[in-house]
Amino acid sequence: MGRMVQLSHYIVDPFFGLVFKNTIFYMVTVPFIDIALAIPLAAILKRTDSKVLLLLILLPAFIPFVTAAVAWELVLNPFYGPVYYFARFNWFRTIWMIVIMDVWESLPMSALFLYAGLKSIPPEIEEAAKVDGVRGIKKLMQVDLPYILPNILMALVLALIFATFTFDPIFVTQGEVPPMSNVDLAYYSYQQFFTGLIGYAAVLIIIMSAMSTVMSYAFVRVLRGSPSNRPAKRTTSRWQKFASRFPNFEVPRPAVWIATIIYLIFFLFPMVWIFLESIKTSAQIFEIPPVIVTTTPSISHYVSAVVQGMPFLISSLITAVGVMLITILIGTPAAFAMSRYNFGGDKLLIYVLFVYTLPSIIFMLPLYEIMNALHLINTFWALIITYPVFVLPVVIWLSYNFYKNFPKHIDEAAQVDGMNLVSAFFKVILPMSIDGVMIAVLYSFIISWGALIFPLVLTYSPFSMNLAAPYGAQTYSIFIGATLGHESVHYGSLAAASVISLIPPAILLYIMRDRLERMYRVGGTKG
């Protein structure tokens, strides 16, 4: 009987159609807008070859998605946001708002993938194109894009996974938008879980698992597939005939500059706005028309964002550091064993990639049950133990690629010198892997710092501020997304907290600026 009830939920649920439609909408729009915008952006990055530009453009991918959603929410507010002046439109009534947030967050990584692809085109191919006389737009269409097709597919699949399981912006905008208007499967399953309909949430999660497995399969195929050995079906590809119609000239410099400026405005505007918002006085925040730059800057919002937010900040830092240590201690040796001794074979590697692409919402239910059984709910441990589920695959994959290019004779020399495998790894290999470890450290920190779903599910109160009897572990992303976002209209504190949340990622991004090229094979576009 109980089973029948749940089945009937599934069938008669009046919202299911809308939720499914929204999911498909994100799935179709975001990845294609993403790639369409990423191609010119990657071409600009290659043409300008500016590290500063690269850093500025990558920033959105590294700041917490919650922060991004909050920033856009403040920007798109038709009364108090800057859109009042140039796009006064009720953005909160359209689900394109979510599409904008998704694209903003995932576009940098897609562009980085494509940019890395463009940079990997061998110089002699570039020269052959020069001698053949193909250049500019025509070269992009006839030579570059077909060459980086695997990169394009990979970016497309990652953006697809990212968009299909959009969670953070929907979470942040609840209460501001018409009820259910932008909800997708991921958020809906969380809602069901939260209202106690755990069985129905499980059904939704199974549907999502099936969807994401198909996408993961596509991802692994693109990443690990070897090129076919069969000749082409036709002697000449239709694409070549089509692409050869494009004009054979370089885009003039001024046009490149204009495009660069448009991209930069798109990427930096929300961040600039939350900063401007955060230093306004409380009264100015609700002025219509909105104040752009305040003449009476105030730090009062920062004070409250730090004072009120302190327990959350502590939770986030403890969790991020704990996760970092666990993932490095487990992840790097695993990656080393996998790359050097083929540990686990292709199966383990493919499994890691599979988990890597799964959206974290899928793990929500089982991990909740496990943590509940262990009586760890609402503790730091719940977060530190569970985060590695989605952090470890990233760290292993990054380190795996790092160790593939690591000189082989070093650990062999250590072994000949009488160390066993374990001591050789920790005494010789690890200290020599600073580059690879650094990237893993920074990545795991950034992912942990921005995590939202797991802390929402596994914690329910802020840290008690008592280290002797610690209790409560809500993170700073919850502080921003829920405490300030949903339950009040403290836009000033919200903006200030958002600015604070993007400081650590910005610092880390700056530190790893020279290592960015090496991580191109792995996307960070996972919420």
Partner 1 sequence: MTEILVLENVVKKFGKVIALNVDRLGIEEGTYNVILGPSGAGKSTMLRVVAGLDYPDSGKIILEGNDITNKPPWERDIGFVFQNYALYPHLTIYDNIAMPLRVKGLKEEEIKQKVTEVLKIMGLEEHINKYPRQLSGGQQQRVALARAIIKRPKLLLLDEPLSNLDAKVRIELRSYLKSLQRQLKITALHVTHDQSEAMAIADNLIILHDGAVEQIGSPKDVYENPKTMFVATFIGMLNVLPSSILKLNDGFDALGFRPENVDILENKEEGTIEGDVKYVEFQGDETIIYVDVENNSIRIKDRENRFFETGKKIYLKIKKAFAFKDGKVLKVIELA
3-state secondary structure of 238: helix
Q: Which of 17, 133, 254, 407 contacts partner 1 by CB under 8 A?
A: 133
407 three-class SS? coil
Q: Nearer to partner 1 by C-beta: 142 or 339? A: 142
Residue with tokens 């109980």: 2
Q: Is 149 in the site for partner 1 (CB under 8 A)?
A: yes
Residue 120 near partner 1 by CB under 8 A = no
Total chain residues near partner 1 (CB under 8 A)? 31
CB of 203 to partner 1, least distance (A): 43
Q: Which of 135, 513, 518, 521 binds partner 1 (CB under 8 A)?
A: 135
Residue 142 near partner 1 by CB under 8 A: yes
Residue 479 CA, distance from chain mean position: 19
Greatest Cα-to-Cα distance within the chain, rounded to the nearest angstrom: 75
- Of 245 and 408, the one with the shorter C-beta distance to partner 1 is 245
Residue 86, Cβ density class (10 Å: 0-12 exposed, 13-18 middle, ≥19 buried): exposed
Q: Does 279 bind partner 1 (CB under 8 A)?
A: no
Structure tokens at 177: 């938008």
Residue whose CB is less far from partner 1, 128 or 303:
128
Q: Is 347 in the site for partner 1 (CB under 8 A)?
A: no
Q: Residue 134 interacts with partner 1 (CB under 8 A)?
A: yes
Of 143 and 482, which has the nearer Cβ to partner 1? 143
Residue 2 to residue 192: CA distance in whole angstroms = 17
CA 314, chain centre distance (Å): 23
- Residue 404 CB, shortest distance to partner 1, in Å, is 21
Q: Which stretch binds partner 1 (CB under 8 A): 53-61, 122-130, 195-203, 285-293?
A: 122-130
Instruction: Select the span of 138-146, 186-194, 291-299, 324-332 touching partner 1 (CB under 8 A).
Output: 138-146
Neighbours of 355 (CB within 10 A): 18
Q: Tell whether residue 127 is a contact of partner 1 (CB under 8 A).
A: yes
Structure-block tokens of residue 374: 């262990």
Binding test (CB under 8 A) with partner 1, winner from 8, 120, 195, 244:
244
Binding flags for partner 1, 220-239, as an x/- string (CB under 8 A) = -------x-x-xxxxxxx--
Q: Which of residues 42-101 bind partner 1 (CB under 8 A)?
A: none
Q: Which of 5, 36, 87, 128 binds partner 1 (CB under 8 A)?
A: 128
- Residue 128 or residue 507: which is nearer to partner 1 going by CB? 128
In the list 20, 84, 96, 147, the residue contacting partner 1 (rule: CB under 8 A) is: 147
The stretches of 341-462 forming alpha helices (DSSP H) are: 345-357, 364-373, 380-386, 388-404, 409-416, 421-424, 430-432, 434-450, 453-458
Cβ proximity of 355 and 209 under 8 Å? no
Residue 124 touching partner 1 (CB under 8 A) = yes
Q: Is 295 in the site for partner 1 (CB under 8 A)?
A: no
CA dist., res. 338 & res. 332, Å (int): 10
State how far the alpha carbon of 489 is from the alpha carbons of 183, 271, 492, in Å: 21, 19, 9
List Cβ neighbours of 122 (8 Å cut-off, separation of 6 or more): none
Q: Is there binding between residue 420 and partner 1 (CB under 8 A)?
A: no
User: Which contiguous run of DSSP H or E holds residue 42?
Assistant: helix 16-48
Question: Positive or negative CA dihedral for 471, 476, 479, 482?
Answer: negative
Burial environment of residue 148 by CB neighbours within 10 A (0 to 12, 13 to 18, 19 or more): buried
Q: Pattern 176-215, binding to partner 1, x per CB under 8 A?
A: ----------------------------------------
**Nearer to partner 1 (CB atom), residue 114 or residue 502:** 114
Quick one: which segment of 37-45, 130-138, 309-317, 473-481 binds partner 1 (CB under 8 A)?
130-138
Check binding of 514 to partner 1 (CB under 8 A). no
Segment lying near partner 1 (by CB under 8 A), choices 144-152, 192-200, 316-324, 434-442 = 144-152
Among positions 36, 120, 146, 366, the unique one binding partner 1 when judged by CB under 8 A: 146
CA 99/CA 169 separation, integer angstroms: 9
Q: Which residue has the tokens 């996760």?
A: 323
Stretch that binds partner 1, among 102-110, 139-147, 363-371, 415-423 (CB under 8 A): 139-147
Q: For partner 1, which is the closer residue by CB, 248 or 342?
A: 248
Q: Are 298 and 280 in contact (CB under 8 A)?
A: yes
Select from 105-113, 119-127, 301-309, 454-462 the region that touches partner 1 (CB under 8 A). 119-127
DSSP 375-389: T-TTSHHHHHHHTHH
Contacts of 25 (CB under 8 A, 6+ apart): 95, 99
CB closer to partner 1, 107 vs 134: 134
- Of the pair 233, 408, the CB lying nearest partner 1 is at 233
The nearer residue to partner 1, 131 or 373, going by C-beta atoms, is 131
Q: Which helix (H) or strand (E) holds 497?
A: helix 491-501
Cβ neighbours for 304, distance < 8 A, ≥ 6 positions apart: 490, 493, 496
Collapsing DSSP to helix, strand or coil, 68 comes out as helix
Nearer CB in complex with partner 1: 140/496: 140
**Rounded Cα distance, 152 and 139, in Å:** 16
Give the binding site for partner 1 (CB under 8 A). 122, 124-125, 127-135, 138, 142-143, 146-147, 149, 227, 229, 231-237, 240-241, 244, 248
